[in-house]
Chain A
Amino acid sequence: MDFSPYRLYDSAARLYWLYTEWMSGEDTWSMQVSSLCFDVLCRINVPKSQLPAGVTLLGTILSLDKMNISVLTGDCVAHPLLISLANIKMETRLQLSSHAFLLAALLPVPKFVHSNKRMKGVLEACLIHQCLDIVLEPLKQAAKLGVMLSDPWGYSRYCFTPIASYIVDTPEAAMLAAVGGKTSPITMATYKEFGDDFRHEPCTSSTTLTQLATAALNADPSDIEAYFREAQKFRLNGVHKPFFRDVPLSCPSRFFTLEVLHHFHKEFGDHDCKWCINAWGPAKIDFRFSVLQPITGFRHFKEGISSLKQVTGRTLRDMQRFIVGVIAGHAPRDVIIAVRALMDFRYRIQAYRITDRDIEVINSVLREFHSHKNSILDAGLRRGKANKPINNWHIPKLELMQSVVPSILRAGVPIQWSADLTEHAHIEQIKDPARGSNNNNYNPQICRQLDRLEKCRNFNIAMTLKDPALRWDIATGMGDEHDEESNPHVSSRPVTDYFARSRQLASSPPDTIPLPRRAFSLNCVAFNLAYDPSIRRITIDEAAEQFGLPDLRAALADFLCHEKVHGVDSVHPIGGGPRRSLENAELPFKNIQIWFKLRLQVTDIHTNTILPVQTVLASPPDGNWPHGRYDLVVVNTNNVMAWPASGLQGSVSSHISMDSIHMSSLIRTLRCAALSHHVTLGPTT
């Protein structure tokens, strides 16, 4: 948990700010830091502390989304309001198993009998705002006057609870911000201005409230139709008392944090992807997707992408991996640049740590998109119903992109507000309890089940705290293992930690483990091989034939020779000069063992958390794969350069240092023969 705002810099010189958690943003800082400090650190213009000294800020995260309770049958809809805390560190909050989101209320979903469809929407919006008023009343009081709460160590803290983030989809955001359709909830932009390449004025809470007051002068708010007509003149949705009117320190233009799943992945699916399909034709793009070599652990689009139905966020992410490379070369260059710029934008804002320098890049790729976007309209790639070209940029999500950078500066990185979490919480908090019920009276049954589950969980935690023998449970986050097992479709498989395994092997005595070691690691990457090799014993000449490598023997001899001259820890070049050894060179061994699979594990470059394993294949030709199946790896061939910090830079032109790309082929699987430098060479007889 973070209890106080802080500033991070990416170097001791404090040149660049670094944004991560909510507490590292400017909002919390300006809410809390006193005016005195601001003269020193002044970079933004904030009047002075708005809270008494010594208080603790607790950022509330809310989420609202309509969803179906029942599976397949019936149309039982729930409108859950979820609540969480922004002070919990991202690492914990983003873990699905940490149950960071709790159900605050199930809002009613009535059917209105009003004859005018438009008015039904207004009534619904009014109802939701009124419900939020009731449900959030304690929160509003705490935000106004503060409340005494105890922290995890048992100390009392004087807490204020402004709304840090409201995770919602675009239509709900508009409804909650009390603005009408086709209007941005965050800025003053209307639909005609959605394609602008700059950010419009923020739509603050005070602006909206003033407009509502003006409307109320001309029409009585209790006369909904008349009031709605008045409100419409300001592009508002006719809600007279929006819920945010009396929450201090909270304003719709700030707390609608941009959200990765709905705003960026869905934008890709709804627009970018369609442009590409329209530009190349479905057949061509599907063909290109279908001939990409499948990768272990990732989706292969055998049928292409144009005919996909019910595309999920995960599928969209998988499409994003390949689309830029696939579309290259065939379309107007400007279209490729526009699509690629948006892709860069999307990837960069998903980082767990964003510095001022990254923000410059993010701004520049967004500008790049806007300067090339018209090529898409010119080519008639933006099409609507019946394939008619649309000649405008009335896309709300494009306008929202302008607000991403301000939102990062204020409230930290967007990935922490991901709706993946809230969508998952819906399953955990609503769907599963509903499934356990007898399909009558959902609400009380859901509440009772959640209540009991939480009590069980708290009991478990208390037990593990008391009993040291069970303590590992908490450390590994396996405290509610039982819970996860009972919902197999919810739980995600834990990531195997090969770094830990290799450390464990490295510290075990050599006669207790199989040699050469099957797992070993460097700083940034861990390697793992199966216990049994894919080919236990094969002569070098047979292997050369099977893998189609006529110079295998000479390459092995070169390797041994290089090792003898430069030492066992030297860095080997790949085919640096002419082969020194002859094709029939003598080797100190005859047979080798071969592994077809190598598991690579790397750590996240920003957070150092361990990422899922990637399997790298190097298997010889067989029935399904007449040309063999080989994957690619980045190889370090210069020990001065370090991946990932140095990237591929200077690799070809300078000739000094290179991290170059090589086709991983058979030879690395011959590790047993030569590669594991701690083991004697010439293993099998």
Chain B
Amino acid sequence: MKARTAWLGGLLCVGCAMLPTTLEPAQVRYFVRTDWEGAPLESGARIIETDLGYTVAISSFQLRTTSIELVPCEPLASLDLGPTRALAHGSSYEHDISAIEPGIMDDLMLEEAQALGYSIATRSAYCELFSVHGTGRDEVVVSLVGWYLAPGSDEPVPFAAEHSLGVTDVAPLSLGAFDDALLPDEAEVVITRFPARAFHGLPLDELPEVDLAYEVGLALLRTREIRWAIGPS
């Protein structure tokens, strides 16, 4: 990770007179990082206390990222999905040119930001980030290993949960900043995930492992934070 991406840790262009209102890049770099806030590291595992009173230890946590792209602000003129899909048959839909397809399992145990890829973009306004996690039903999307203690119990229950159901996520690009270290029209988008938040509300001792993996994966996507920065115009 480059020094110029220090803003990724949460500094939103302190001292800037103005913040950018829309993201209109000509090129974009994507990063993911994990924020284990509230989950101390003990004996190689992250320890989480959930709102339902479970103690969860996570020793391995991976999420597949199949593709990521920016979504133009301009809505499609109609719901005429047929021709669009037909033209792109086999790839489900037409990607924006900002799309990257890493197709990898992100290791969420790492705290450092990981570069996912780089793409050109249209310079038009983008409002959302769209990501696909898993294609088909043959590849693992979420893999999760650890154990938990149910409320009032001192007996650890081990789990090695995974699921292979593709999921998608759409997030608004609302947290933007200027970054003088970037080239003009160059953008960086950082997705921060908070695993400690993904276990809240889950009755772990009543969930089959496939549902555990699926629900944690969904919650991970829904509680993520998207920040972007763009070079001076």
Do A and B interact with each other, yes or no? no
Name B residues whose Cβ lies closer than 8 Å to a Cβ of A: none
Name A residues whose Cβ lies closer than 8 Å to a Cβ of B: none
